Amino acid sequence: MDVAQELGIPVFCFSTFSARFLFLYFSIPKLLEDGQIPYPEGNSNQALHGIPGGEGLFRCKDLPGYWSVEAVANYNPMNFVNQTLATTKSHGLILNTFDELEAPFITNLSKIYKKVYTIGPIHSLLKKSVQTQYEFWKEDHSCLAWLDSQPPRSVMFVSFGSIVKLKSSQLKEFWNGLVNSGKAFLLVLRSDALTEETGEEDEKQKELVIKEIMETKDEGRWVIVNWAPQEKVLRHEAIGGFLTHSGWNSTLESVAVGVPMVCWPQIGDQPSNATWLSKVWKIGVEMEDSHDRCTVESRVRSIMEHEDKKMENAIVELAKRADDRVSKEGTSCRNLQRLIEDIKGFKLN
């Protein structure tokens, strides 16, 4: 940022996560001043107070970085916070979100940055999927043909993103919960999805879980792929729910097509995404800190049996608003044009 300023080069910052999570960075100095952090080990679910737009909804574990007493003793998380605070020197902030989704936090950030451009959901604004040679994983499109043979809203899509890894014991619980639910499902199981096991017994357990999965008779009720074309899958009429890690891109992709979610957040902005999905927008259910097979089964059933009509209506309404925002006269489309014009208007010193 300093180098760009010295050379007179305009800088625009693009946030890959939500406006809500970005604003948390700016809340940390006040939380430190109030003594709410660092927090005692084991108190990660403790509520945080005094954060505009999220009173009582944020927990210690929602914060960027690690703010327990033990963690802070070993490294300084303020280094990352200060890097983010420095972005206020930029000419503007670009956010992959839209007004109805995060209005309070967009307002908060508009008071901090010179200009804020909300242009989300970006994938909808583009109108088509972008594929490059630099994708993490090769997409397996064979699952789309299987989805074509399934009834509308009958399949649960299961994917934990490109980074999250599972222990073999966790995968076993998810697998049994999905099978026991009696619902059809499409499972994305990356080749590196399981954590590296160190002991001989752990490695043996890992092999047994994989063997159990491969030998379970599917009766055509499920398909497993290494990686799926997620946007196309979520848009498919056979999809009735999404069991997700609650990454921001996955969240927006699901919101845009009106698919309710079962949330199993792990890192970064995922915990607060899951909180807003389940408690604020009310378009999904959270697994909290549990992933046993009974919890998995009940959460999957609750979504796939479409019991909560208020949730169904809420996700449909939010999808309509997302679609409106990326229309030709929508705010996201207009904000993108405004951004382009602002960039074109700059002259290098």
pLDDT tens-digit readout, 268-316: 999 999 999 999 999 999 998 788 999 999 999 999 999 899 999 999 9
Other beta carbons within 10 Å of 267: 12
Give the model's confidence band at 337: pLDDT under 50 very low, under 70 low, under 90 confident, else very high.
very high
Q: Determine, yes or no, domain membership for 164.
A: yes
Look at strands 155-159 and 239-244 and give their pairing. parallel
3-state secondary structure at position 136 = coil
**Do 37 and 102 belong to one domain?**
yes
Could you tell me if 280 and 148 lie in one domain? yes
CATH number at residue 80: 3.40.50.2000
Asked if residue 101 and residue 38 are part of one domain, the reply reads yes
Mean predicted confidence (pLDDT) in 74-90: 92
For the segment 71-87, the average pLDDT, to the nearest whole number, is: 91
Single-letter amino acid code for the residue at 136: F
Strands ordered across the beta sheet of 12-15: 12-15, 92-95, 116-118
pLDDT in tens, 105-137: 999 999 999 999 999 999 998 865 555 544 567
Average pLDDT of 228-248? 98
pLDDT confidence band for 70 (50 / 70 / 90): very high
Task: Look at residue 127 and tell me if it is in a domain.
Answer: no
Is the pLDDT at 187 greater than 80? The verdict is yes
Residue 131 lies in a domain: no
pLDDT band at 197 (very low <50, low <70, confident <90, very high): low
Hey, what's the torsion of the CAs at 233, 237, 243, 245, to 10 degrees? 40
Residue 288: the pLDDT is 80
Element (H, E) at 92: strand 92-95
146-155, 191-200, 216-225, 275-284 — which is least confidently predicted?
A: 191-200
Alpha helices in 16-167 (DSSP H): 19-34, 69-74, 78-85, 99-110, 122-126, 142-148
| pLDDT value at residue 199 | 56
Q: For residue 131, how many C-alpha atoms fall within 13 Å in the half-sphere facing its CB? A: 10
pLDDT at 128: 58
**Residue bearing tokens 């242009």:** 119
Is 66 within a domain? yes
Check pLDDT > 70 for residue 98. Answer: yes
Task: List pLDDT tens digits, range 29-57.
Answer: 999 999 999 999 899 999 999 999 999 99
* Residues 124/126/129/132 CA torsion (nearest 10 deg): -140
Q: Which residues, including other chains, have CB under 8 Å from residue 183's CB and lie 6 or more apart?
A: 154, 155, 156, 221, 300, 301, 304
Residue 322: its H or E element:
helix 309-325
Whether residue 209 is found in the same domain as residue 337: no
Q: Are residues 305 and 182 in the same domain?
A: yes
User: 46: domain range?
Assistant: 2-120+326-344
- Is residue 129 in some structural domain? no
Co-location of 213 and 297 in the same domain: yes
State the helix-helix crossing angle for 19-34 and 78-85, rounded to 10 degrees: 120
